Amino acid sequence: MSSYEDFHRRSIEDPEGFWGEQAQMIHWHKPPQKVRDYSKPPFCKWFVGGETNLCYNAVDRHLAERANQPALIYISTETDEEKVYTFAELHREVNRFAAVLQSQGLQKGDRVIIYMPMIAEALFAVLACVRLGAVHSVVFGGFAAYNLAVRIDDAKPKLMITSDAGMRGGKAVPYKHLVDESCSLAKFPPEKVILINRGLVKDMAITEGRDLDYATLRAQHMDAEVPITWLESNEPSYILYTSGTTGIPKGVQRDTGGYAVALASTMKHLYAVNPGETMFATSDIGWVVGHSYIIYGQLINGSATILYEGLPTRPDAGIWWKIVQDYKVRSMFSSPTAIRVLKSQDPKYMRMYDISCLRYLFLAGEPLDEPTSRWITDSLQIPVIDHYWQTETGWPMLSYLPGVDLKPNRFGSPGFPVYGYDIKVISEGTGEEVPRGDKGVLVVVPPLPPGCLSTVWGDDKRFVQSYFSSFKEMLYTSSDWAVRDEDGYFFILGRTDDVINVAGHRLGTREIEEAIQAHSAVAEVAVIGVADSVKGQVPVGFCRLRDPTLLDEPGAEARLEKEVIGKVQELLGAVAKPHRVHFVNALPKTRSGKLLRRSIQALAEGRDPGDLSTLDDPNSLEEVRRAVGH
């Protein structure tokens, strides 16, 4: 076994040799002619000329050796369902779904928006799309109609796939009416909407001629076998929207071959899960973790994945550990927020099940604080691995590598650059590398390794502008602050931009501000992230009203706050709901009119507001202080 250092060095110094070897972990219908083409920086093509298919690698390839082994374990503690699909059964369901999509005229390159709860059909739908070479875009179920409409207009889908409702805490969360609303808001609504009806919503509106019932269509294709559409490695597999610094989300475009190779390699080197074993990621299919490590990674590896619909605390806080025991989970992947939720429960739940099968717990999505890390390490008595990545990269950038050489953990550090990533910490001002121990911006020297975003959907310029134009040298910016210590351990210190992280979910404050501004009483608004003991950060809004006398009436402030929060929920969904909205007579701004968000954030957290040399109106600081009561 090589040391971490040798392994990483080889990936950087001999990328063609290194990735050429990794590429052998997947099936190629036609082998690549060239490992890498970097003739048009920063665009990089991987495994050029190779033909493959994600669905074939995730499903068909395993039929010969493991047809009767578990592939998908579906558990819903909301509807009390538990079902294991073998690779053979998964193959059948994916073929049925693909045949349904084909019967609606879906072809290679067409886009499909999937807006679904955590049910098995969501995974079948995703795999059916890539089987046909269609490009899926899964939108997180917590997003509302406006958000969905923005994504529809960007992706211009031929079809949408949805469900009547998700379930949360025993209650149905209706989805279908949001799809209806988004279709009427969008300029480019899909021709057809395929509906998986779980029977959770009474009197659901159906649009004749557009809405199709999946169960009826499936019944017509029970024995379908849909041939694989082979794709050149660099053809797109999916679009996943993520928040940026503008109000318009970015469509992260993923390739096909590079992604498959990257995921296959991580299952072995990073998550250390063998074919035939089970890995459980507690995320949602609407996020990147769900794409890479609920849907694709395990299946490409011939391992079983768990799709869990429900809360970590229902029926009780032992439920995840029961799942680990029952399905002999080897590696588990969750978020610090979820662990903080478990930490607040009775510790007896941590001891109720035999979880000796579990070897590693991986956490990502937000900073892992030391008390949480120590608590979960003590409770599980196994390595708890903090690792760092982004929607853009699709797989980890910083981590420890149990499958190669597991270095000792350092609390608060997500470890070292993962193979393939040439990572530096540079000065925001000079673009030069900072000395060890100094804070700087975490960047990746391009080209990005296989599986990272190949561009922003439909907008190559934005890809270059957003990610590669911050410094004089062409470098991929993560937009995260970082420090590298004397021994090479990295530490992430938060975002350099106006993106906040709520319970591991990335939200653009600009999007929330735009939603608040849709309330007619609001003249201007600043949204910031404020530290929260469970969720890491929560959004908080500061509004200036068009007519401040609106607040004169008794009870007006609370009513207006409720209304503004309701507006965000209506437009963006519960996930973006501000924790509080305060009303002020002035917002701290520079003389040129730029909001001083970092100062507002500092004041809201009771800290020093920092550099105020450009502040226009000192009174505005008092306004914020008064509003937050510091």
Residue span 16-35 as binding mask against ligand AMP, x where in contact by CB under 6 A, dash where not: --------------------
State in angstroms the smallest separation of the CB of 506 from ligand AMP: 3
Say if residue 421 is exposed, middle or buried (CB neighbours under 10 Å; 0-12, 13-18, 19+).
buried
Shorter beta-carbon distance to ligand AMP: residue 364 or 444: 364
Stretch in the footprint of ligand AMP (CB under 6 A) among 194-202, 381-389, 403-411, 527-535: 381-389
Out of 11, 77, 147, 242, the only residue in the binding site for ligand AMP (CB under 6 A) is 242
Residue 251: phi, psi to the nearest 5?
-90, 100
CA angle 301, 231, 474 (to 5 degrees): 85
Q: Residue 446: how many CB atoms within 10 A of its CB? A: 19
Out of 118, 482, 492, 587, the only residue in the binding site for ligand AMP (CB under 6 A) is 492
Stretch in the footprint of ligand AMP (CB under 6 A) among 93-101, 307-315, 383-391, 577-585: 383-391
Out of 141, 367, 394, 403, the only residue in the binding site for ligand AMP (CB under 6 A) is 367
Is residue 398 within 8 Å of 417, Cβ to Cβ? yes
Q: Considering only residues 262 through 301, tell me which ones interact with ligand AMP, judged by CB under 6 A.
A: 288
Q: Which of 27, 244, 145 is nearest to 569 (CA)?
A: 145
Residue 234 as a binder of ligand AMP (CB under 6 A): the answer is: no
CA angle 349, 354, 358 (to 5 degrees): 100
State in angstroms the smallest separation of the CB of 442 from ligand AMP: 9
Residue 365 as a binder of ligand AMP (CB under 6 A): the answer is: yes
Stretch in the footprint of ligand AMP (CB under 6 A) among 205-213, 278-286, 360-368, 539-547: 360-368
Residue 364 as a binder of ligand AMP (CB under 6 A): the answer is: yes
User: What would the two tokens of residue 555 be?
Assistant: 């009870």
Shorter beta-carbon distance to ligand AMP: residue 345 or 469: 469
State in angstroms the smallest separation of the CB of 478 from ligand AMP: 6
- Whole-number Å distance between alpha carbons of 33 and 45: 12
Residue 294 DSSP class: I
Out of 50, 414, 541, 578, the only residue in the binding site for ligand AMP (CB under 6 A) is 414
CA angle 107, 112, 117 (to 5 degrees): 140
Out of 177, 495, 579, 598, the only residue in the binding site for ligand AMP (CB under 6 A) is 495
- Whole-number Å distance between alpha carbons of 48 and 219: 40
Is residue 236 within 8 Å of 323, Cβ to Cβ? no
Size of the site for ligand AMP (CB under 6 A): 19
Residue 366 as a binder of ligand AMP (CB under 6 A): the answer is: yes
Cα-based distances in Å from 325 to 24, 318, 322, 330: 33, 11, 5, 10
How big is the chain by its Cα radius of gyration, in Å? 24
Residue whose CB is nearest to ligand AMP in the complex, by number: 506
Out of 233, 303, 372, 478, the only residue in the binding site for ligand AMP (CB under 6 A) is 478
Stretch in the footprint of ligand AMP (CB under 6 A) among 83-91, 106-114, 173-181, 365-373: 365-373
- Whole-number Å distance between alpha carbons of 578 and 510: 13
Shorter beta-carbon distance to ligand AMP: residue 266 or 390: 390
- Whole-number Å distance between alpha carbons of 278 and 629: 49
Out of 501, 537, 599, 620, the only residue in the binding site for ligand AMP (CB under 6 A) is 501
State in angstroms the smallest separation of the CB of 213 from ligand AMP: 34
The residues, ordered by sequence, that sit 6+ positions from 609 with a Cβ below 8 Å of its Cβ are: 588, 596, 599, 600, 602, 603, 621
Q: How many residues belong to the chain? A: 630
Interface contacts to ligand AMP, rule CB under 6 A:
242, 288, 364-367, 386-391, 414, 478, 480, 492, 495, 501, 506
